[in-house]
Amino acid sequence: MARRGRKRLVKRRQPNGQPYRPRQRDLEEEARRVAVSARERVYGLPCGLAGHQEAGDALGRAFIREIISRSEHEAGLEYERLYRQWVKVALVKPLASSSDLNRSSGYDGDDGDDPLYVERCRQVSERIHGSRRVLARAGPLCRLAVETWVVEQTAAWGLLGPLRCGLWALARGVDTRYGVG
């Protein structure tokens, strides 16, 4: 009499007949190996550098290749953090889209007039505008380079000079054209 159903796959099995499941640690290691090999392949990073945490974004790859200094890298990360915070606390709520499946429907009862919320928005807005003023004083090309590399996460290798100039200005908070703080 023939067996009914599909044939069993050849796998290691537990004593009860169930196939062994990979451990969570093994799954995480495999995901990390895939990410590192993709960074090596796509960005042309050497094996030793592709595993660094900084290799995940364009600014970090410039840092680990020693194109920009640590202070410039930290200034770029601070500007990115500040920019993301500014986008979150904007007083204008985005219009709901019918195709946005992650939106919450209905009125949340908040019209944005809580004094603590307004004060936090004002502080974040002042800080981002101050940083943008520093970048504007450094020059329009410097601002474009910082926005491209830091905010948009795009490596524009032709803008390395203006990027370093803009990050230097952000790190020191000075006007690079006139040497005035």
Domain-wise residue ranges, the chain: 18-51, 56-91+112-181
6 confidence band (pLDDT: 50, 70, 90): confident
Instruction: Give the mean pLDDT of 79-91.
Output: 84
Residue 179 has pLDDT above 50, yes or no: no
Residue 174 has pLDDT above 60, yes or no: no
For the ranges 51-55, 122-126, 134-138, 172-176, the lowest mean pLDDT is seen at 172-176
pLDDT of residue 49: 83
Residue 122 Cα distances to 54, 89, 115, angstroms: 31, 9, 10
pLDDT of residue 175: 45
Give the span between the Cα atoms of 68 and 168, in whole angstroms.
Answer: 9
pLDDT of residue 114: 76
pLDDT of residue 177: 45
**pLDDT, the chain, mean:** 82
pTM to 2 decimals? 0.71
Please give the structure tokens belonging to residue 103: 């939106």
What would the pLDDT profile of 101-142 be if each residue is shown by its tens digit?
666 555 555 666 778 888 888 888 888 889 999 999 999 999
What's at 129, amino acid-wise? H
Element at 167 (helix H, strand E): helix 160-172
